[in-house]
Amino acid sequence: MKKNVFFWGAKFKAGIIYNLIKKKLILNNSTNLNIKYLFDPGLRRPQFITKINFSNKKKDLKKFINNSDFFVVCIGNHYGMARYLISKKLEKHLKPIQIISKHSYIADKKLISKGVQIFPKSIVQENSQIGEYTILNTASLVEHDCKIGNGVHIMPGAVIGGNVNIGNFVTVGLNATILPNLNIAEGAYIGAGAVVTKDVKKNHVVVGSPARLIKKIKHKVTMKYL
């Protein structure tokens, strides 16, 4: 019997995840999954070609949730807090799906939390933990003995050295490198191509090589649809 899947988010990341499921390229058995609904309050239409039921209206959201079995929150970029908080709300009604590419490598799947999205050619080495609703994007590398928090986004090509601790809602930009034995505090943003050689404090934005502070940011999520 087919199980209905609800996507929160209908931008390009949703299209990528849609194709991974439809082409049976994730580790979970996707044969019985039917991607039934798309919801995105910020769009007039999906940003990828699809015939899935789409809405941006709150009145349709309850119907979508009530008629679904599983969910995926397709929110990327630096919106890890939003992805995490929306997911925790949806957990009250639906079950999350792990999106783990068959073309990724994970040393110990028991250390991978629920709702993660791990894309092709990503690598997670020995004894590394990945938190809930975290994204490891294409060809990212998490070396041994790392602890990655909830709602983190490690962007394509980023390298996380061994024994690194990354707090909740951190974003690590394209091709950035974090050297071993460092701590990256909650909400920090590591710019594309940065080389991080020392600890990064909470909500700090760092760029360059070696990475330097350019500003601080605040994370705020308004949950008006749930």
Asked if residue 70 is part of any domain, the answer here is yes
Q: Is-contact 192 208, C-beta < 8 A?
A: no
Taking 80 as the threshold, does the pLDDT of residue 86 lie above it? Answer: yes
Which is more confident, 49 or 29? 49
**Are 123 and 70 within one domain?**
no
Same structural domain for residues 115 and 212?
Answer: yes
Angle value at C-alpha 158, between 156 and 162, nearest 5 degrees = 140
Among candidate residues 21, 54, 74, the one where a domain is terminated: 74
Residues 69 and 121 in one domain: no
| Mean pLDDT of the chain, nearest integer | 96
Is residue 97 one of the residues assigned to a domain?
A: no
* Residue 226, pLDDT above cutoff 80: no
Domain hosting residue 57, numbered range: 3-74
CATH of the domain at 168: 2.160.10.10
Structural domain contains residue 86: no
Mean predicted confidence (pLDDT) in 178-185: 98
Last residue of some domain: 34, 55, 74?
Answer: 74
What would the mean pLDDT of 39-56 be, rounded to a whole number? Answer: 95
Residue 1's pLDDT is 81
**In the chain, % of residues over pLDDT 90:** 93
Percentage of the residues of the chain whose pLDDT score is greater than 70: 100
Is residue 131, in this structure, part of any structural domain at all? yes
Domain final residue, candidates 74, 94, 112: 74
Q: Considering its fold, how many domains does the chain have in total?
A: 2
Q: Which two tokens stand for residue 102?
A: 């068959």
Same domain as 124, residue 193: yes
Whether residue 79 is contained in a domain is answered as: no
CA dist., res. 40 & res. 122, Å (int): 27
Same domain, 70 and 141: no
pLDDT given for residue 125 in this prediction: 98
List all residues 6 or more positions away from 90 whose beta carbon is below 8 Å from its beta carbon. 6, 8, 65, 71, 73, 96, 226
> 113 and 194 share a domain?
yes
pLDDT digits (tens, 9 = 90+) for 158-171: 999 999 999 999 99
pLDDT exceeds 80 at position 111:
yes
- pLDDT computed for residue 28 by the predictor: 82
In 3D space, the residue among 79, 38, 83, 36 whose CA is nearest the CA of residue 56 turns out to be 38
In a shared domain, residues 189 and 127: yes
Would the pLDDT of 133 be above 80?
Answer: yes
Please tell me whether residues 109 and 47 are part of one structural domain.
no
Q: Give domain status of residue 81, yes or no.
A: no
Task: Looking at the structure, tell me whether residues 112 and 60 fall in a common domain.
Answer: no
Does a structural domain hold residue 169? yes
- Domain shared by 121 and 39, yes or no: no
Note whether residue 67 is domain-resident. Answer: yes
Q: Which residue has the tokens 């760092």?
A: 206
The residue assigned the tokens 């199980």 is: 3
Same domain, yes or no, for 65 and 114? Answer: no
Mean pLDDT along residues 182-187: 98
Decide if pLDDT at 31 tops 90: no
